[in-house]
Amino acid sequence: MAHYQAILFDVDGTLIHSSPGILDTMQFTFAQMGKDITGVDLTRYLGPPLRRTFGEHFSDPNEIEKAVDIYRARYHTHGQFACSLYPHVVEMLQQLKQAGFLLYTATSKPRDVALPILQHLGIAEMFDYVGGASHDSTLDTKTAVMQHVLSRAELNGKKALMVGDRKEDLIGAADCGVDAVGVLYGYGSLEELQPFHPQYMAKDCLDLARWILESK
């Protein structure tokens, strides 16, 4: 088994259960944009970048940006803190930190959105760096966010592992040449993750911690 030294975590669906705030904000945004989403399964948008999500419904780049702006303004005032930690997240992070792993996030949320949430939930200080997307399109895919995190000087020469619940997390890991673990308690599924051949699929946070600790 590989000897990992750094762990990159997705946030939504991996560390936090954030669907209530996200889905409410999605519904508000589509209503403001005059888009009928009857019959649309909004849960498939839990995790992927916003521009890709709205790009499925609007072809005009200006409309996509307008939807992103509406979403982010609403999320800031109503949805941001409508979330909770998954069971045993704190215990998992403590175990990994005590074992000497470097811990990071690699989330599609902008960094200045993710950081206050993690601070609110009391886990921000456990991470060596909170990595996230940019508000513009310069750092807007999971691959780009991961590349940004992995470029940090302290990770030079370190073997990293990506942990996430959606296929974008596993695709980003493959693009960056790092191993990935899928989690089955988030918003993805076995059927979604299996085709991307993760090193392991964890049923909960304690199972995830155990597997990572055994890899050290």
Q: Are strands 84-85 and 16-17 parallel, antiparallel or unpaired?
A: antiparallel
201 Cβ contact list (under 8 Å, min separation 6): 181, 182, 183, 184, 190, 193, 194
Render pLDDT for 84-117 as a digit per residue (tens, 0 to 9): 999 999 999 999 999 999 999 999 999 999 999 9
Extract the tokens encoding 129.
Answer: 């760096």
Domains contained in the chain, CATH given: 6-17+83-215 (3.40.50.1000), 19-79 (1.10.150.240)
Render pLDDT for 124-163 as a digit per residue (tens, 0 to 9): 999 999 999 999 988 989 999 999 999 999 999 999 999 9
Q: How far apart are CA 145 and CA 125, in angstroms?
A: 20
Phi, psi of 8 (to 5 degrees): -105, 125
One-letter amino acid for residue 34 of the chain: G
Q: How far apart are CA 194 and CA 201, in angstroms?
A: 9
